[in-house]
Amino acid sequence: MTPDLRQKTELSRTACPVNSHNEWDPLEEVIVGRLEGATIASDHIAVTAAIPGKSARWLAKITAGWKYPSFLLSEALHELEGFVELLGTLGVTVRRPEPADFSIRFKTPHWTSKGLANACPRDSLLVIGDEIIEAPMAWRCRYFETHSFRPLLKEYFHRGARWSAAPKPELRDELYDPDYRPPADSGPVRYVINEFEPVFDAADFVRCGTDLFVTRSNVTNRSGIEWLRRHLGEPYRIHEIESLARHPMHIDTTILPLAPGRLLVNPEYVDVKRLPAMLKSWDILIAPEPDPVKGNIQRFVSMSSRWLSVNVLSIDQKRVIVEKNQPSMIRLLERHGFEPIPCSFASYAPFGGSFHCATLDIRRRGERQCYF
Ligand code: ABU
């Protein structure tokens, strides 16, 4: 054994640096995304299908592949710095991916694309216990997104974490419905992807110990869910939550478990009466209407819905980081005995999300449990 490999093997004998089983145990280490090098998403049909606002969809087509303008970038960077600083003062170790230039065009045998960003690690990486799984993402512009996280993934691997990747999808034209049109305000939801091959975004799953919840979406198909189900095996169970969102993408503006027995629910995306029976005994916190953010032009170019108010990050079972401009959400959490920690983050919306999206739990203090 070489000295280098011996040193790495020694490291893996110490406690695993990756350990996170749910969304609420005390947070010790987290990856926070970056904005440098971010490039506006491509105008591929899978991208426009997932953008909620008509005007944002229209704008996205024109600006696809551009670098983000500095007025959007500088404010978001400023808020991101504040968020990172806050996590530090709360005693959380913050790790960051490498800066990368996502405007570089790449190609596969079937298509070419520019990249997007590494602003939202929650989308591309799923942590289940001591395992980090790279997701088989459906957006072509996200094909190599995990690469800027690889230095961290390799470090965690050498220190004892398990590291795997779902089968790399081909993302050929056959995966997408060329006749896809945004669905009407009511009636059945239509998805832009089919079952050509397994795809999912990690952010379509939330974790409650041995039970995971998932929403099918414009980036997660049934085969992707089934792949993860078989990959995790016993004792894990994956339960589907029916989403009423018109442009479904990512569960973390739909439901978010805040503590054992306590679930935050977006009433526009979920019919509470149709939640899985196992959640019937849980306290359901119905998210209030999101408060409009005054003077926030970012909402016109947001890649996300107005329900980013639900996209909070739990520091532990009591303390929750919540967007400062969402007083109704802050009051709801207070009424239910939580300690909300307000932080400005509305400018992050054009980059894909809020606190939950912008982070990836690496270590939360606690063991795997069955809560149902
Ligand atoms: N990345 C989270 C976006 C979800 C939403 O638009 O509601």
DSSP letters for 14-69? SPPS-BB-BSSSPEEEEEE---TT-BPPP--HHHHTT---HHHHHHHHHHTTPBPP
Average pLDDT, the chain: 93
Grouping H, G, I as helix, E, B as strand and the rest as coil, residue 207 is strand
Q: Is the CB of 169 under 6 A from ligand 1?
A: no
User: Which residue's alpha carbon is at the smallest distance from atom 3 of ligand 1?
Assistant: 304
Ligand 1: which atom is nearest the Cα of residue 122? 1
CA of 109 to the centre of ligand 1 (A): 30
Q: Which of 98, 199, 181, 196 is nearest to 139 (CA)?
A: 199
For residue 101, what pLDDT is reported?
96
Q: Tens digit of pLDDT for each residue in 333-360?
A: 999 999 999 999 999 999 999 999 999 9
Q: Is the CB of 345 under 6 A from ligand 1?
A: no
Say if residue 140 is exposed, middle or buried (CB neighbours under 10 Å; 0-12, 13-18, 19+). buried
Q: Tens digit of pLDDT for each residue in 246-281?
A: 999 999 999 999 999 999 999 999 999 999 999 999
Amino acid at 236: Y
- 283 vs 190 pLDDT, higher one: 283
The backbone torsions φ and ψ at residue 56, rounded to the nearest 5 degrees and listed phi first, read -65, -35
215, 305, 355: residue to mutate for ligand 1 pocket, most atoms within 8 A of CB? 305
Query: pLDDT band for position 64 (50/70/90)?
Result: confident
Q: Is the CB of 306 under 6 A from ligand 1?
A: no
Q: Taking a C-beta distance cutoff of 8 angstroms, is the pair 362, 24 a contact?
A: no
* Distance set, CA 20 to CA 25, 174, 202, 295, 358 (Å): 8, 36, 14, 37, 17
Q: Tens digit of pLDDT for each residue in 101-147?
A: 999 999 999 999 999 999 999 999 999 999 999 999 999 999 999 99
Query: pLDDT band for position 303 (50/70/90)?
Result: confident
Tokens, residue 233: 């095996």
User: Which residue's alpha carbon is at the smallest distance from atom 7 of ligand 1?
Assistant: 305
Active site residue 250: yes
Dist. CA 177–CA 173, nearest whole Å: 8
Ligand 1: which atom is nearest the Cα of residue 253? 7
Of 21, 247, 250, 356, which one is the catalytic site residue? 250
Q: How many CB atoms lie within 10 A of CB 342?
A: 15
Half-sphere exposure of 141 (CA within 13 A, CB side): 23
Mean pLDDT of 168-189: 91
Position 3 pLDDT exceeds 60: no
Share of the chain above pLDDT 90, in %: 82
The backbone torsions φ and ψ at residue 204, rounded to the nearest 5 degrees and listed phi first, read -90, 5
Query: pLDDT band for position 299 (50/70/90)?
Result: low
Q: Is the CB of 279 under 6 A from ligand 1?
A: no
Dist. CA 203–CA 93, nearest whole Å: 21
Q: Is the CB of 307 under 6 A from ligand 1?
A: yes
Q: Taking a C-beta distance cutoff of 8 angstroms, is the pair 107, 19 a contact?
A: no
Mean pLDDT of 33-59: 87
Of 130, 201, 211, 252, which one is the catalytic site residue? 201
For residue 117, what pLDDT is reported?
97
DSSP structural state of residue 212: E
Dist. CA 89–CA 168, nearest whole Å: 38
Asked which of 201-210, 220-229, 292-301 is least confident by mean pLDDT, the reply is 292-301
